[in-house]
Amino acid sequence: MEPTRERILFAAMTLFSEKGYLSTSVADILREAGANSGSLYHFFPTKQDVLLAVLEMYRDGIYPMLLAPAWEGVDDPIERVFALLGAYRNALKTTACLYGCPIGSIALELHEPDPPVREMLSVNFEGWVRHVKGCLDAAKSRLPAGTDTHALATFVLTTMEGGVMQSRTHRTLAAFDASVAGLRNYFTLLQASAGVAAAPAARQETGT
Amino acid sequence: MEPTRERILFAAMTLFSEKGYLSTSVADILREAGANSGSLYHFFPTKQDVLLAVLEMYRDGIYPMLLAPAWEGVDDPIERVFALLGAYRNALKTTACLYGCPIGSIALELHEPDPPVREMLSVNFEGWVRHVKGCLDAAKSRLPAGTDTHALATFVLTTMEGGVMQSRTHRTLAAFDASVAGLRNYFTLLQASAGVAAAPAARQETGT
DNA sequence: TGCTCTCTTGATCGCTCAATCAAGTGAGCC
DNA sequence: GGCTCACTTGATTGAGCGATCAAGAGAGCA
């Protein structure tokens, strides 16, 4: 049996993604983990500190638990971006569109999160975007010259989160698929316009 | 003074978008509305029925309260799409990136919402998409032949929701702007490719 | 053996929550 | 006046919440 602290964290991670943070009670976590309240409060001062530790697990697990499996056997950097989106599609599909991205759910669930929580959510998004930006930078020669790869990677995350939100609401993959298809088509057009010339219109500009 | 039922609904709408549904107590609503619990429970059987009524207000208010102001003085159908996104940008800006889209927040806050609530969230998203699709259909001649305007409108909503989520988390407009800039660039490329010919790659395909 | 220190046990606390209810108010109507 | 009925009042209920705490278990070491 794993140590208690790990069991509590794993139980909390599961329940937060299944029921959300606010709807998960400390008693739920204790039942799932097979622990007593005193143990939990021995390791974590408050329920919020459990959330913080879970978010740290996501931050540290993004490569080994998410990217590595999704990218196995996929070498093309642009295909890796869509393989990652495919992993989220698979998560939606295997849960009947119930669970999507736990970070996104928590981000919208907590309207004015305490600064450390907001910071960890921010860090998680940044890590995700940074990895996607890595793919885009590796494919730089196939994108229009001057492409802002960070902004484009942000747009990829936007597509994933927005698609997951709608698919979870409609309980259908259609919205997620339509969003990813739109992004795929955008990438096709970007690569086509990169082949012709570095047309100004093909640049990804940020801000207004 | 407005009738009690309206005051309760307006208070609930405000608080749900400020603090979220779960974090808003019935007592909060009563305080804000200046009403007593008996009055609330005279009009609404449960707190969830208050939420349903608020979601009905959003559904019915999407044109008069959101689209009409955003589209005033904007005739070009594609510019209307971006004027709508601009309205959300403005909401973010004037609230220091605290409040985005209340429907999206509630959609992710409730992980397994009771069927009627999920249905109303779904209907709200559908209404939004239908209006954007109307714009895209009006601009059909400028888009590649065979463009799936419903899928593209879904992608527009995805861009808004995903951008709002990230901007609220980072407390910066950057992610929202990067997302809308990506969508704008996509539309530019779509219109450019429509001018040339109905290239197969320019179609917005759905599914995998 | 006996001391120390980390971790566990589970009853308990004070509080907030959504919801209830009996009593009361007052406009409209006969 | 007297009746009706839609609405209001606000104290109250019981359940569930996050958090506390005194007591104890047990490994590691002298």
DSSP state of B200: G
pLDDT at residue A147 in the model:
96
Task: Examine the pLDDT at A206 and tell me if it is beyond 60.
Answer: no
pLDDT at residue B1 in the model:
66
What confidence tens digit (pLDDT) does each residue in B62-83 have?
Answer: 999 999 999 999 999 999 999 9
Give me the amino acid identity at A128.
W
Average pLDDT over residues A106-132: 97
DSSP state of B139: T
pLDDT at residue B194 in the model:
85
Task: Examine the pLDDT at B206 and tell me if it is beyond 70.
Answer: no
d(CA A150, CA A137): 9
Do residues B46 and B23 touch, judged by C-beta distance below 8 A? no
Q: Which of residues 122-181 of A touch strand C (CB under 7 A)?
A: none
pLDDT at residue B200 in the model:
46
SS3 at position A18:
helix
pLDDT at residue A197 in the model:
53
Average pLDDT over residues A130-158: 97
Q: Which of A19, A189, A196, A204 to mutate to test the interface with B (most CBs of B within 10 A)?
A: A189
d(CA B174, CA B184): 15
Query: For the CA atoms of B50, B165, A184, A78, what is the dihedral angle to 10 degrees?
Result: -150
Closest residue (CA) to C1' of nucleotide C7 is A39
* % residues pLDDT > 70 (chain B): 93
d(CA B162, CA A108): 11
- CB spacing of A159 vs B161 below 8 angstroms: no
- How does residue A140 score in pLDDT terms, banded at 50, 70 and 90? very high
Q: Which residues of chain B form beta strands (DSSP E)?
A: none
Mean of per-residue pLDDT scores for chain A: 94
Task: Examine the pLDDT at A144 and tell me if it is beyond 90.
Answer: yes
- CB spacing of B162 vs A166 below 8 angstroms: no
Average pLDDT over residues A51-62: 98
Average pLDDT over residues B1-22: 94
- How does residue B196 score in pLDDT terms, banded at 50, 70 and 90? low
Distance of CA A135 to the CA centre of its chain: 16
CA of A15 to C1' of C9 (A): 24
